[in-house]
Amino acid sequence: MKLYHLDFGRRFSGKVFIVLFSSWLPLSLVAQEQKGVLQMAEEAYSRQEYGTAAALYERLAKQKSKKVKPEQLMKLAQCYREIGLFDQAGSWYARITAMPECPPHAWFAFGEILRNREQYEEAKQQYARFTTDKADSLQLKELALRSCDSALIWKQRAAVITLEPIKELNSENSEIITGVVKDGLLLISNGYRKMRMNGVTERHPAEDKRTLQPYYKPYIFKQYSVGDSNVLLEELFPQLLGNYRFHIGPVCMNRAEDTLYVTINEQDKILPENKKGPVTGVRRLNIYQAVKQNGKWSTPVPLANVNKEGYSSSYPVLAEQGSVMYFVSDRPEGQGQADIWYSEKQADGTWGAPVNCGPVLNTVAAEAFPTINEDGVLYFSSKGHPGMGGYDIFRAIGNRAQWQVPVNMKGPFNTGGDDIGLILKRNGYEGFLSSNRTGGSGSDDIYAFKDAHYFERVAPPLPAETPAKHGTSGGTGDGKDSTGHRTGNGTDKTTAKRKLTPEEEKDKAELEKLQFYYKFNSTELLTESRRILDYVAAVMQRHPDWKLLVVSYTDSRGSDNYNKDLSTMRCYSVINYLDDKGISPTRVYYRNMAKEAIVNGCLGGVPCDEKQHQENRRSELKVLY
C-alpha cells in the first residue's frame, strides 16, 4: 500500500490495460525517440508512473538483441503489482525466480502473488526460499508461512454467509464503499466518470499517471435494494468537492450530517526528489473538514493538528459520538508502513495531536480502511496480521490505544485478494464490503452480505422443556437469579429430544461442568483454558451430531456496551480455537451475557479483590442436540 495515493488505482482490468497500451505506446515512443527505451522506463518508474513504465519495461524485455537484467524485470513485475495485474506480475516473477542471479526478495514477492491467487502450498515453497538478515523481513516471512497454513483451514470452513455483488453499483473499474448516511451509501469510484452520470458523460476524465485510470470521486447511492432497477446514484457535493483535480475521498460525516471529513490529494505540493524520509516525487494526502451552516457548506480546510507535513493522513472515521477520529497515516513513530492513529476532539472544536493506536492493532506492514459500527467495534484491513492474502478484514474491540487482539473475519469476508471497508448495519447481521476477489465486474467491487443463521447463532433454539435460565446483574450473589434459578449452564436440567446413551450422558455431564476464566479486559485463552478446549474438541469429535452453546461473561466493571462486546469476543475466541481443532463454527453457537449473572456479589461499588472479579470473567458450555 502506498498512502501517498491512498492505495487508489492499485488494480484494474487487464483487458483495459492491454487495449489502452496497444494504441498509446508507439505514439509515445515516436514522440521521445531521442531517448532509449530503458531510460524512459527508468524515468517513468522513478516518477511512479507504473502503467507507462510497465509497457516500456515489457517492450525492453521482448527485445531479443539485449539481455535484460533481473533488477529491470523486478521493476516490471513490481509495476504490474502496483496496478493490480497480478497474473502478469506472477508470470514475470516465475521467470525471475528461474534465473541463476535471482534477487532473494523475488521469492517473497512471488509468494505474495501466489497467496493472492489462493495457491497456498505453492506460495509456501516460495516463501521458504526467501532469505534475509533483516528482522522485520524475517517477521513477515514467518507471518506469511503461518498465514498460508491458516488460510488452507479457513477455506474449508468458511461461514455460511450470503455475499453478493451489487451489480447496479459496480463498473469495470473500481468502487469502494466508505460509509452509510441517512440518504444511502457513501462510496468512491474511478469508473463512473467514464459512464453517463446524471445525463452527462465526462468524455476525457483526468487520469492518475500511476495507472492511467481516472481519479476517484465520492458518490452517494440512494437505493439499498439489491436488484432494484430504480437506482439513484449521484456525485457527492459536486459544488463543494468538484474543483479538486486529483483523488477525492473517502468522505465521512458526523451523526448530524452537518460536518464532513474528506481525504484530498495535495493540489500544489509535490515532494522534491531529493527529500529524505518518505517516498518522494508524489502528492500526499490530507484530511479536510467542511461545516454546514444555514444550509450552506463551508469551503473544506485541512485539519492542521491532524495532518503532518510530508506524510499522508487519510481514511477518517468518527467514533464515540464524534469525539474521536481514527485515521491512517504513514508518519514516523508508527509500528510499520501505515498505521491507524486517533485524535480527540478538544473543547474548542479543534482536533488534538494524533496518537498511535499501538502495537496490538498496528503491525510492521500496513493497516487501512477503518470503520466503526454502532457499538463502537472497529473493523479494519491489514496486511500484517495472519491473513488469507492481500488485505484481510479484522474485527477488534477497544478504543484509542487499548485494543484486544484483532480477529480475522475469515471466509467469505476474506479471500486471497484485497478485502476492505466492511460496513456493518445496525441490525448486526447485514452489511457491505469491497473486494477485488475473482469473479467481480471490475477491479474493486462492492458486495452486500447477510448472515442467514445470525439469530440461530446468537440465540439458538433450546428444547422447549428447558428455557434459558441465565441470571441478570440483579443476582443474589449466590449464583441464583431473581427467580431462584441457578445461573450458568452446568446446572440446567435439559430434557433431551432423544434418549442419550450412558457414554453420551457421561460426556455431556463432564463437558457442562467446565468453566474457564480470563484476565481483566482480555479475550486471550489462558493455558488452562486451551487444555479444557482440547478436551471439548475431542468430545465433540466423538459426537458429530452435537452442537455447542458457548456462554461468556465479564465482571461488573466497565460500561454495558463495552462488556457486551467483550463477552462476544470471548465467545469468538472459543469458536476460533475450536475451529482450529477441527470443530466447524456451524456447530457452535454463543450468548454474550456481559456482566449478567454475577456469581459472587461483586457488583457496583462492592469491594472485591482481583481473584473474586476473575470468578465472573468466565465462559461456560452447554450441549445442544
Superfamily of domain 457-624: OmpA-like domain (3.30.1330.60)
Q: Where are the domains of the chain?
A: 3-156, 172-372+394-401, 457-624
Cα dihedral 9, 14, 15, 18 in deg (nearest 10)? 90
Beta-carbon neighbour count of residue 196 at 10 Å?
9
Q: How far is CA 177 from CA 116, 158, 206, 211, 525, in A?
A: 21, 23, 22, 21, 34
Q: Report pTM.
A: 0.74
Q: What is the CATH number of domain 3-156?
A: 1.25.40.10
pLDDT of residue 68 exceeding 60 = yes
pLDDT of residue 4 exceeding 60 = no
Do the beta carbons of residue 454 and residue 587 sit within 8 Å?
no
Residue 486 has phi, psi (to 5 degrees) of: -65, 135
pLDDT, tens digit (0-9, with 9 covering 90-100), for 137-168: 998 999 999 999 999 988 887 777 889 999 88
Evaluate the omega torsion of the peptide bond into residue 250 and state whether it is cis, within 30 degrees of 0: yes
Q: What is the pLDDT of residue 456?
A: 52
- DSSP element (H, E) containing 574: helix 560-580
Q: What is the pLDDT of residue 201?
A: 52
In this prediction, residue 478 has a pLDDT band, given cuts at 50, 70 and 90, of: very low
Q: Report the pLDDT averaged over residues 326-346.
A: 96
Which one is predicted more confidently, 183 or 306?
306
Smallest Cα–Cα separation from 379: which of 431, 343, 416?
Answer: 431
Q: What is the pLDDT of residue 18?
A: 38
